Amino acid sequence: MARIVVIGGTGFAGEHIVREAASRGHDVTSLSRSLPTEQVDGVRYTTGSVLDDADLTTALDGADVVVATVSPRGDMAGQVRPAYARLAELATGRDVRLAVVGGAGSLQVAPGGPRLVDGPEFPDAYKAEAQEFTAVLEDLRSAPEGLDWFYLSPPAVFGAYAPGERTGSYRTGGDVLLAAEDGTSAISGADFAVALVDELEQPAHRRRRFTVAA
């Protein structure tokens, strides 16, 4: 059993991760700015912010894994990168693993590039978010060796607008976007959580980014 803290545990990715981890018997704490109406049995729910040093320190204290799932959109646009940099700084040298749920925009559409965010079909409305997530990945890659981290990118279609169902299966890739034979690139929220918790239980991507898809 691992002690897992999910920052942003009431969002789309966070809620699925909380639910999956709890279902496997882990000790799970959800940290978010507000409490959810529906709560998962056995999960500890706390309020706080990724922007608050005291809340980050509390999240790290006693945790085996801290999962960061905040998206740089809305009032968090431009604030996630420095917040995650601070989280990484506080986690460095501790016996804790940092897992970051990132975006798909930094994935290459083919080996060697270009990146998804640089393509003509990438929506302008999401470019700033994708670029901030890309910067978070770059920061992690240059982090001191004392930081144990991984960064998980979803496929192109991932979110509350396409929740999907839990199948328990997924494919794993590296820095290249995964797509099916028909060109679709997607995964359900539940299967994304399965992949992330699998990585927590059987680490295979230390100090690396990887991606998953159905």
Please give the Cα distance from 19 to 30 (Å, whole number).
10
Output the pLDDT for position 185: 97
| C-beta contacts of 199-206 below 8 A and 24+ residues apart | 199/99, 199/150, 199/152, 200/2, 200/4, 200/21, 200/26, 200/65, 200/97, 200/99, 201/2, 201/24, 203/97, 203/150, 205/150, 206/148, 206/149, 206/150
Rounded-to-integer distance, Cα 214 and Cα 212, Å: 7
What is the Cα–Cα distance from 39 to 134, expressed in whole angstroms?
32
Q: Is the omega angle on the peptide bond into residue 114 within 30 degrees of 0, that is, cis?
A: yes
Q: What is the DSSP letter of 182?
A: T
- For residue 153, which of 194, 196, 112 has the smallest C-alpha distance? 196
C-beta neighbour count of 12 within 10 angstroms = 18
Mean pLDDT value of segment 174-181 = 96
CB 4 within 8 A of CB 63: yes
- Whether residue 109 is predicted with pLDDT greater than 90 in this model: the reply is yes
Contact residues for 79 (Cβ-Cβ < 8 A; gap 6+): 51, 72
Handedness of CA 16, 20, 21, 23 (dihedral sign): positive
What total number of domains does the chain contain?
A: 1
The CATH number covering residue 141 comes to 3.40.50.720
Q: Round the average pLDDT of the chain to a whole number and report it.
A: 97
Task: Tell me: pLDDT of 113 over 90.
Answer: no
Contact between 150 and 210 (Cβ < 8 Å): yes
Is the pLDDT assigned to residue 126 strictly greater than 90? yes
Q: According to the model, what pLDDT value does residue 105 have? A: 97
pLDDT tens-digit series, residues 131-157: 999 999 999 999 999 999 999 999 999
Full domain range(s) for residue 59: 3-213
3-state SS assignment for residue 44? strand
Percent of the chain residues topping a pLDDT of 70: 100
Backbone φ, ψ for residue 12 (5° rounding): -60, -60
* Average pLDDT over every residue of 119-128: 93
Average pLDDT on 17-39 reads 97
> Token match 């240059």: residue?
142
> Tell me: the pLDDT tens digits for 53-103?
999 999 999 999 999 999 999 999 999 999 999 999 999 999 999 999 999
Mean pLDDT of 25-48: 96
Assign 40 to helix, strand or coil.
coil
